[in-house]
C-alpha cells in the first residue's frame, strides 16, 4: 500500500493550477494559511507523500516548503516535520450569539430549566459506555423512525410504572424534545384536515409559534384554579394541555375537567395533547397520574428528558393513539429520519439500570428543599406576595401585592444580577385576566447560587 495523499495523516485541499508548479504550490499554501484554512501548528504531509499524491517531483515540494519556511509561513523542526507557523492571522471570531440565553446573568430564577450542574455526568457516561458496548452494529445505522426498541421498551415500562400511562413500546415515537414532537403532531393533524388547536391562555409562546407555523388556528382556554376551562373546546380539533402542573400557573387539572375533556374528545373525535413536562416532580401528595390513561385512543401523552435530566439531550417521547401512528412515523421520517441513536441507547440503559429513578429521586428532594427555602424566605421577607402552584414542578407563581408591577420588579432584579420572568410573557390573548405575577423557576440555579438568588428576589420584593 503506497503512502499517498489519500493515506496521509491529514486532509488538505489545495488548488494547484498553472504551469509553474513550485510557484503554484507556494501560492496555494500561502493562500490557505493567510485565509485561515490552514491553522497555526497544523502538520503538513511529508514532502514525499505530497509529491507522490500531486504527481510532482519530491524536490519541488521540498523547495516550496523551504521557501515558505524562509518567508515565515511554515516552520520545520527535526522530529516534528513541517508545520504552519504561529502568525497573527485574523481569528474566525464568533459573533454575538443569536439567542439571548447565552448572555447569562449571575443569578437566574427564570423557569424552564432544571439545575444543569446536577446532571449526573458520571452515571450518564457509564450508561452510555455500557449501552454502546452492548449495541449491535445496526444500532448505528438508519433504523426505525420511532426510535430504538431498547429505549421504547424502557420508556414503556417506566411510564406505566411512574406515570400510569397506558403504553406499549410500539406506540412510542422518540423525538428530539417536545418542540419537535409538537411540530410533528401539528403536521399530522393538518394532514388529517384539522384546522383549530386550543391552547391554555397562559402557555409558552414558542409552542404557540410552532402551532401557528403549521397553519393551525389557535383558540385560548382560560385557566382557573381547576386548570384549563375545557368547556370552551367546542369545535376545536385538538387541545394542548398541561394537566399535571399547568405551565406557568402551576395548578393541576381537576378530575371533572379531565373527564369533561375526554368526553369532548370522544364526542367530537378531537385529540388531547397531554404535555407532561415535569410530571416526575411532585412533593406533597400522591402524584396525579397521566390523563392519557383515561382515553389512550384520544390522548397523546408527551414526555421529555429536558426537565428530569437536561434540555441539551433533546430527547422527548410521544405515546400515540393507534390512528396517528402511521402519520407520525411519516412525519418523523421526513423531519430527520430518526433521533440520534447513541443518546437513545444511553437513556435506555440509564433507565434500565435504575439510574433514572435515582436521579429523579435525588432531584425531587433537592427541588423540594429549594421550594421550602423559597417559601420560608418569602413569607418572612415579603409576606404580601401570594405563592401558588407549588405542589409540583420546578416553578412557583408569585402574585404581586397591589401597586407592584412585573416590569419594575424584573428591572430591579436585573440591576442586582438576577434574571426573572413575569407572567405576562406567557399570556396568549390581548385581554389581561390576571394581576401581575412572577413565574419563578427555582430549579434553574446551581446549588451554590440558590441562596444568593433567593436573597436578591426577596430584596426586590420586600
The torsion angle over the Cα atoms of residues 356, 362, 364 and 367, rounded to 10 degrees, is -130
Question: Which residue lies nearer to its own copies by CB, 110 or 404?
Answer: 110
Least Å distance, CB 370 to its own copies, is: 13
Least Å distance, CB 345 to its own copies, is: 9
Question: Which residue lies nearer to its own copies by CB, 65 or 460?
Answer: 65
Cell of 272: 388531547
Least Å distance, CB 320 to its own copies, is: 12
Cell of 165: 400511562
- Give the distance from CA 332 to its chain's centroid: 17
Query: C-alpha distances in angstroms, 92 versus 13, 33, 37, 88?
Result: 19, 13, 10, 12
Of 172, 193, 171, 175, nearest to 184 by C-alpha is 175
Least Å distance, CB 289 to its own copies, is: 4
Least Å distance, CB 355 to its own copies, is: 12
Least Å distance, CB 269 to its own copies, is: 24
- CA 150 – CA 60 distance, rounded (Å): 57
> How many Cα atoms occupy the beta-carbon half-sphere of 200 within 13 Å?
28
Residues 6+ apart with CB under 8 A from 421: 109, 110, 111, 410, 438, 439, 441
Least Å distance, CB 13 to its own copies, is: 4
The torsion angle over the Cα atoms of residues 405, 411, 416 and 422, rounded to 10 degrees, is 60
Question: Which residue lies nearer to its own copies by CB, 305 or 460?
Answer: 305
Question: Which residue lies nearer to its own copies by CB, 181 or 436?
Answer: 181
Cell of 461: 420584593
Q: What is the DSSP string of 178-209?
A: HHHHHHHHHHHHHHTT--EEEEESB--HHHHH
Least Å distance, CB 121 to its own copies, is: 5
Residues 6+ apart with CB under 8 A from 52: 2, 3, 4, 5, 58
Least Å distance, CB 395 to its own copies, is: 15
Question: Which residue lies nearer to its own copies by CB, 112 or 422?
Answer: 112
Least Å distance, CB 305 to its own copies, is: 10
Residues 6+ apart with CB under 8 A from 345: 128, 131, 132, 135, 139, 148, 150, 151
Question: Which residue lies nearer to its own copies by CB, 159 or 300?
Answer: 159
Question: Which residue lies nearer to its own copies by CB, 157 or 424?
Answer: 157
Question: Which residue lies nearer to its own copies by CB, 125 or 414?
Answer: 125
Least Å distance, CB 367 to its own copies, is: 10
Residue 142: exposure state from Cβ atoms within 10 A (0-12, 13-18, ≥19) = exposed
Question: Which residue lies nearer to its own copies by CB, 393 or 436?
Answer: 393
Radius of gyration of the chain (CA): 28
Across the strands, what pairs with 196? 217
Any idea what DSSP says for residue 253?
P
- Give the distance from CA 308 to its chain's centroid: 12
- CA 118 – CA 125 distance, rounded (Å): 14
Question: Which residue lies nearer to its own copies by CB, 11 or 70?
Answer: 11
Q: What is the DSSP string of 298-321?
A: TEEEEEESTTTT-GGG--EEEE--
Question: Which residue lies nearer to its own copies by CB, 156 or 198?
Answer: 156
Amino acid at each position: 500500500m503506497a503512502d499517498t495523499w489519500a493515506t496521509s495523516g491529514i486532509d488538505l485541499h489545495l488548488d494547484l493550477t498553472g504551469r509553474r508548479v513550485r510557484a503554484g504550490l507556494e501560492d496555494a499554501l500561502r493562500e490557505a494559511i493567510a485565509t485561515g484554512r490552514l491553522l497555526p501548528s497544523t502538520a503538513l504531509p511529508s514532502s514525499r507523500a505530497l509529491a507522490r499524491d500531486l504527481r510532482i517531483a519530491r524536490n519541488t515540494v521540498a523547495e516550496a516548503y523551504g521557501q515558505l519556511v524562509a518567508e515565515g509561513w511554515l516552520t520545520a523542526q527535526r522530529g516534528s516535520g513541517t508545520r504552519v507557523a504561529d502568525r497573527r492571522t485574523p481569528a474566525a471570531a464568533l459573533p454575538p450569539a443569536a439567542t439571548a440565553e447565552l448572555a447569562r446573568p449571575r443569578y437566574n430564577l427564570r423557569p424552564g430549566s432544571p439545575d444543569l450542574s446536577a446532571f449526573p455526568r458520571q452515571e450518564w457516561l457509564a450508561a452510555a459506555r455500557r449501552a454502546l458496548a452492548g449495541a449491535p452494529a445496526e444500532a448505528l445505522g438508519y433504523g426505525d423512525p420511532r426510535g430504538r426498541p431498547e429505549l421504547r421498551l424502557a420508556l414503556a415500562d417506566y411510564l406505566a410504572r411512574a406515570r400510569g400511562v397506558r403504553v406499549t413500546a410500539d406506540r412510542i415515537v422518540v423525538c428530539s424534545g417536545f418542540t419537535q414532537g409538537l411540530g410533528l403532531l401539528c403536521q399530522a393533524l393538518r394532514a388529517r384536515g384539522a384546522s383549530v388547536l386550543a391552547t391554555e391562555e397562559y402557555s409558552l409562546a414558542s409552542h404557540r409559534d410552532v402551532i401557528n407555523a403549521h397553519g393551525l388556528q389557535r383558540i385560548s382556554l382560560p385557566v382557573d384554579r381547576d386548570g384549563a376551562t375545557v368547556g370552551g373546546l367546542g369545535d376545536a380539533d385538538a387541545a394542548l394541555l398541561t394537566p399535571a402542573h399547568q405551565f406557568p400557573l402551576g395548578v393541576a387539572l381537576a378530575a371533572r375537567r379531565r373527564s369533561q375533556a375526554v368526553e369532548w374528545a370522544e364526542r367530537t373525535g378531537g385529540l388531547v395533547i397531554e404535555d407532561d413536562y415535569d410530571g416526575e416532580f411532585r412533593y406533597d401528595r400522591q402524584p396525579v397520574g397521566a390523563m392519557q390513561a383515561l382515553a389512550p385512543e384520544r390522548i397523546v401523552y408527551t414526555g421529555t428528558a429536558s426537565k428530569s435530566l437536561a434540555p441539551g439531550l433533546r430527547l422527548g417521547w410521544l405515546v400515540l393513539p393507534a390512528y396517528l401512528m402511521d402519520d407520525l412515523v411519516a412525519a418523523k421520517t421526513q423531519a430527520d429520519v430518526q433521533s440520534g441513536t447513541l443518546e437513545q441507547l444511553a437513556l435506555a440503559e440509564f433507565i434500565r439500570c435504575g439510574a433514572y429513578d435515582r436521579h429523579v429521586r435525588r432531584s425531587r428532594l433537592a427541588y423540594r428543599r429549594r421550594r421550602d427555602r423559597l417559601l420560608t424566605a418569602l413569607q418572612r421577607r415579603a409576606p404580601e406576595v401570594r405563592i401558588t402552584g407549588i405542589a409540583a414542578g420546578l416553578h412557583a407563581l408569585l402574585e404581586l401585592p397591589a401597586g407592584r408591577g412585573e416590569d419594575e420588579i424584573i428591572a430591579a432584579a436585573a440591576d442586582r444580577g438576577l434574571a426573572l420572568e413575569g407572567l405576562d410573557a406567557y399570556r396568549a390573548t390581548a385581554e389581561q385576566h390576571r394581576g401581575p405575577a412572577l413565574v419563578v423557576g427555582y430549579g434553574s440555579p446551581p446549588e451554590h447560587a440558590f441562596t444568593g438568588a433567593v436573597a436578591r428576589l426577596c430584596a426586590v420584593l420586600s
